[in-house]
Amino acid sequence: MKRVLFADTIHPELESILSSKGFECIHAWDMNLEELISATIEKDIEGIVIRSRFKLSRSIIEQLGPIKFIARFGSGMENIDIEAANKRNINCLNAPEGNSNAVAEMTIGLLLNILRNIQIADQQVRGGVWLREENRGYEVEGKTIAIIGFGRTGKSLYYKLKGFNCNLMVYDPYVKIDPDQFSSIQQTEMNEIYEHADIISFHIPLTDETNQMINETYLNKFKKPIWLLNTSRGKILNTAALADKIKAKQILGACLDVFEYESTSFEKLESGSIPDPLKFLLSSNKVILTPHIAGWTHESNLKLSQILAKKILDLYNT
Ligand code: NAD
């Protein structure tokens, strides 16, 4: 019997598929990190399934028993030291295909919400306030929208935005976009985006290069006031710079699903006092804030299970 440790609670479909193929799924979501490490050594474990409860750093990975895989139930892999895992011949699996559509749909929802004051107007009506002129909004049609990062989510967003009759630009230095497959999108350098963008949406991983990439210098380069959306990773954006640009009206509105100050598990904001830039955002009607839920739908939960199960089973040619 092949044993797998579930370090987080996961949609039951994954356990169901693995069990049907002869795996024993051990519920390890109450274990602390030491117990998890010991279990991989003592219980002849094949692999770990994890969302974001623990950071599997180099030193942790070096202490694990001789496991075959670490499967991340989600997209981003920044809580796993892949290099250290590869060194030990541990396969690192994830399932970004499972939630990219959910993120792209949420991005559309956030964009329409911020442009049309939907959330503000809803709160006003509930409070007995009926304001029409003050809530006159903006349309997506005709705007220049820059998609930063043209991976799974960036592409999914492209397909959704195509119907809005807007100008689409993309910046991703690591992919070559086939113009036959992606018509009506311009692959550009950032200079073009600084010049023309009205709206910018980020769909990039957190790496050494992207950490704090959107800072004051970056935001200063935009020629027009912009709307900014970040549904990728919180730490790519310097919140203080964002707050300053909103105050200076150089950013007309921002939608954040992810936060610089999120805990590594993404389950909460870091404990302690609320940093001033976040205090400002919490009190500003120019921002929409959601708790890292862009990829969280009932459908993506199921898809993540099915995709991850297939990738695990493929390791065993099952
Ligand atoms: P992906 O790996 O498919 O695509 C990322 C793209 O970003 C790649 O094409 C890569 O070339 C590009 N890229 C890397 N560095 C870049 C840079 N400096 N400038 C421009 N492009 C760059 O990833 P994805 O599945 O599209 O996910 C994108 C991000 O969204 C990830 O950080 C992921 O963790 C995050 N995400 C968030 C949620 C959520 O719930 N909010 C859910 C899923 C994924």
202 CB neighbour count, 10 Å cutoff: 23
* CATH code assigned to 99-289: 3.40.50.720
Q: Considering only CA atoms, which residue is closest to atom 37 of ligand 1?
A: 232
What is the pLDDT, as a whole number, of residue 33? 96
Say yes or no to pLDDT of 77 above 80: yes
CA 56 to CA 142: how far, in whole Å?
A: 45
Q: Is 209 a catalytic residue?
A: no
Cβ atoms of residues 69 and 47 within 8 Å: yes
What is the pLDDT, as a whole number, of residue 265? 67
Could you tell me the CA-to-CA distances from 86 to 4, 74, 83 in Å, in that order?
19, 19, 5
CA 314 to CA 308: how far, in whole Å?
A: 10
Q: Considering only CA atoms, which residue is closest to atom 19 of ligand 1?
A: 172
Element (H, E) at 45: strand 45-50
Say yes or no to pLDDT of 318 above 90: no
CA 262 to CA 91: how far, in whole Å?
A: 27
Could you tell me the CA-to-CA distances from 12 to 25, 96, 153, 284, 308 in Å, in that order?
11, 19, 25, 39, 12
Residue 126's identity, in one-letter code, is R
Say yes or no to pLDDT of 89 above 70: yes
What is the pLDDT, as a whole number, of residue 270? 80
CA 200 to CA 275: how far, in whole Å?
A: 25
What is the pLDDT, as a whole number, of residue 186? 87
Q: Residues lining ligand 1, CB < 6 A?
A: 75-76, 96, 99-100, 103, 148-154, 171-175, 203-206, 209-210, 231-233, 257-258, 292, 294-295
Ligand 1 pocket: which of 189, 203, 212, 301 to mutate (most atoms within 8 A of CB): 203
How many angstroms is it from 255 CA to the middle of ligand 1? 17
How many angstroms is it from 150 CA to the middle of ligand 1? 8
Could you tell me the CA-to-CA distances from 305 to 28, 92, 197, 291, 309 in Å, in that order?
17, 15, 37, 22, 6
Element (H, E) at 101: helix 100-116
Q: What tens digit of pLDDT does each residue of 279-312 get?
A: 999 999 999 999 999 999 999 999 999 999 999 9
Give the per-residue SS3 of 8-21.
CCCCHHHHHHHHHC
Kindly report the CA angle at 161 between 156 and 133, in degrees rounded to 5? Answer: 135
Tokens 């969302």 found at: 51
Q: What tens digit of pLDDT does each residue of 138-170 get?
A: 999 999 999 999 999 999 999 999 999 999 999
Cβ atoms of residues 191 and 223 within 8 Å: no
Q: Is 83 a catalytic residue?
A: no
Q: Three-class SS of residue 193?
A: helix
> To the nearest whole number, what is the mean pLDDT of the chain?
95
How many angstroms is it from 257 CA to the middle of ligand 1? 14
CATH class (in words) of the domain with range 2-94: alpha beta
Say yes or no to pLDDT of 100 above 80: yes
Q: What tens digit of pLDDT does each residue of 169-186 get?
A: 999 999 999 988 998 888
DSSP state letters, 214-272: BSHHHHHT-SS-EEEEE-S-GGGB-HHHHHHHHHTTSEEEEEESS-TTB-TTSSSBPSS
Q: What tens digit of pLDDT does each residue of 198-237 get?
A: 999 999 999 999 999 999 999 999 999 999 999 999 999 9
Say yes or no to pLDDT of 317 above 90: no
Q: pLDDT higher for 1 or 132?
A: 132
Q: Is 46 a catalytic residue?
A: no
**Considering 51, 72, 152, 292, which one is annotated as catalytic?**
292
Q: Provide the residue ranges of all domains of the chain, joining segments of one domain with +.
A: 2-94, 99-289
**Considering 216, 262, 267, 299, which one is annotated as catalytic?**
262
Ligand 1 pocket: which of 72, 73, 75 to mutate (most atoms within 8 A of CB): 75
Tokens 């920044």 found at: 78
Do the domains 99-289 and 2-94 match in fold? yes
Q: Which atom of ligand 1 is nearest to the CA of 102?
A: 42
Say yes or no to pLDDT of 114 above 70: yes
How many angstroms is it from 123 CA to the middle of ligand 1? 33
The answer to whether the Cα torsion of 182, 220, 202, 281 is positive or negative is negative
Q: Residue 80 forms beta bridges with which residues? A: 56
Q: pLDDT higher for 199 or 76?
A: 199
What's the rounded mean pLDDT across residues 52-64?
95
How would you classify residue 220: left for phi > 0, otherwise alpha for psi between -120 and 50, otherwise beta? alpha
What is the pLDDT, as a whole number, of residue 220? 98
**Considering 15, 51, 233, 260, which one is annotated as catalytic?**
233
What is the pLDDT, as a whole number, of residue 22? 95
CA 56 to CA 77: how far, in whole Å?
A: 10
Q: Which atom of ligand 1 is nearest to the CA of 295?
A: 40
What's the rounded mean pLDDT across residues 63-70?
96
Say yes or no to pLDDT of 267 above 80: no
CA 259 to CA 268: how far, in whole Å?
A: 10
CA 34 to CA 241: how far, in whole Å?
A: 39
Tokens 């940093």 found at: 275
